[in-house]
Amino acid sequence: MRDLNALLAWLLKLEEEKRLAELARLSRSEREEFRYHWHLWARTNQIAPPGEWRTWLVSAGRGFGKTRAGAEWVREKVRHTPDARIALVGASLAEARSVMVEGESGLLACCPPHNAPLFEPSLRRLVWPNGAMAFLYSAAEPEALRGPQHHYAWCDEIAKWDNASERATRAWDNLALGMRLGETPQTLATTTPRVVALMRRLCAEEAGGDVIVTRGATYENAQNLPPRFLRDMKQQFARTSLGRQELDGVLLEDMDGALWSRALLESCRDEALGDPPLRIVIGVDPPASDRGDECGIVVCGLGASGMGQVLADASIARPRPERWARAVADAAAAWNADRVVAEANQGGQMVESVLRAADIALPVKLVHASRGKAARAEPVAALYEAGRVRHTALFARLEDQLCGMMTGCGYEGPGRSPDRADALIWALSELMLGKANRPRVRQI
């Protein structure tokens, strides 16, 4: 067998393309030996930048290799700092464990058997043979980060952290106040970008030099991803805002004059909704023909507190009348809806007839668009600005359309028509802007 140390030194001097070619020619035993030498396999943008930076933000598309980069960075810090105290912060403790520790690219999978940490779930910590320790934290519990001190921190999916009551920013700030061990404490944040307050703040600090931002796309890691996955993602999300964000890793900016901004939508997201809906309406924007883009079907509710709630987006693409009517009927049954509100400009009474044929046994209200889209949307957008609407999940396509609704000049978003956005507007208008919009307790 060749001198592996000399071979390793030689390989590290090669350009990335030549190095990978040489690695492919190694014997099986040599490849096994080099399996845990991350710098041999990593792309340049998966390796920490040089210098005494404070924060390294890896903002890239799904499947880019962010988790592996984070785990390998932690492993390197453990190797060079035997007394290291490291924070591992996830959106929740369950995600910190399942992704950062036990995941396919997590710490346990990346560490060689002879230097693997002992994971103690009950204590929420990992202990390496050299004495270094890593502790698990949830960003949903900011106060747990008040007090502990660390040399290093790895924060995963920071754009996904729950920011209700500013929990995400408080968790980040409490962590930062505890980064005071060693000469150069450092934090790595890995995430798919979303326009949330914490992401905006870190990107704004990039110019100062303390924050280094690495950006990348899913396709850069194509050699490690299933070809079918890449093909399906391109087919489904190419040329969409969701694709630019989730695959290209682009932090989407808002358009001037848009009635909804992405920051506004992120601020109204509340997946742990504590106000059960007392009245539920399904908004429907039927296609003009079976060759239309989509049938918008959006489920909205109104809680006892008067808070509007976007509960589900059941919209379907290019449906025939019987298919979209059945989708409305299924949504009504699933959510025990009180009413269906459907736009009837294109089909008149045909819309109600199609819905009745699908056995919808609840009131159907037909509405006619007497004003332009922007004029109908503005009062609903004002409800969002006033903090009176919550989204119970990420509704990517619906939110893309909302961000394309422009003040006074119609629609400039994806697709030919904002079918999903129109359905939402009809539902929330019925719930919150009508004459009888106060919720009532239903008898079961």
| Domains, the chain | 42-241 (3.40.50.300), 262-433 (3.30.420.10)
Average pLDDT over residues 322-340: 90
* Mean pLDDT score across all residues of the chain: 87
**Looking at residue 396, what is its pLDDT?**
85
**Looking at residue 376, what is its pLDDT?**
86
pTM of the model: 0.70
- Which of the pair, 291 or 15, is modelled with greater confidence? 15
1 confidence band (pLDDT: 50, 70, 90): very low
Share of the chain above pLDDT 70, in %: 89
User: Does residue 331 register a pLDDT over 60?
Assistant: yes
Contact 350, 343 (CB under 8 A): no
**Cβ contacts of 162 within 8 Å, gap of 6 or more:** 91, 139, 140, 168, 271, 272
Q: At what angle do helices 419-428 and 373-385 cross, to 10 degrees?
A: 60
148 confidence band (pLDDT: 50, 70, 90): very high
pLDDT in tens, 364-403: 888 877 667 778 899 999 999 999 999 998 898 899 899 9
User: Does residue 313 register a pLDDT over 50?
Assistant: yes
pLDDT in tens, 183-224: 999 999 999 998 888 998 999 999 888 899 999 999 999 988
pLDDT in tens, 117-132: 999 999 999 999 999 9
CA distance 233 to 236: 5
30 confidence band (pLDDT: 50, 70, 90): low
Beta strands 186-191 and 55-60: pairing type?
parallel
436 confidence band (pLDDT: 50, 70, 90): low
Give the sign of the dihedral formed by CA 212, CA 59, CA 312, CA 334.
negative
Question: Helix, strand, or coil here: 184?
Answer: coil
**Looking at residue 267, what is its pLDDT?**
87
> Which of 76-85, 170-179, 208-217, 399-408 bottoms out in mean pLDDT, i.e. has the lowest?
399-408
**Looking at residue 25, what is its pLDDT?**
77
What's the 3-state SS for 58-84? Answer: EEECCCCCHHHHHHHHHHHHHHHCCCC
Average pLDDT over residues 88-116: 96
Give the other-Cβ count within 10 Å of 131's Cβ.
Answer: 11
> Which of 95-99, 244-248, 306-310 bottoms out in mean pLDDT, i.e. has the lowest?
244-248
Share of the chain above pLDDT 90, in %: 56
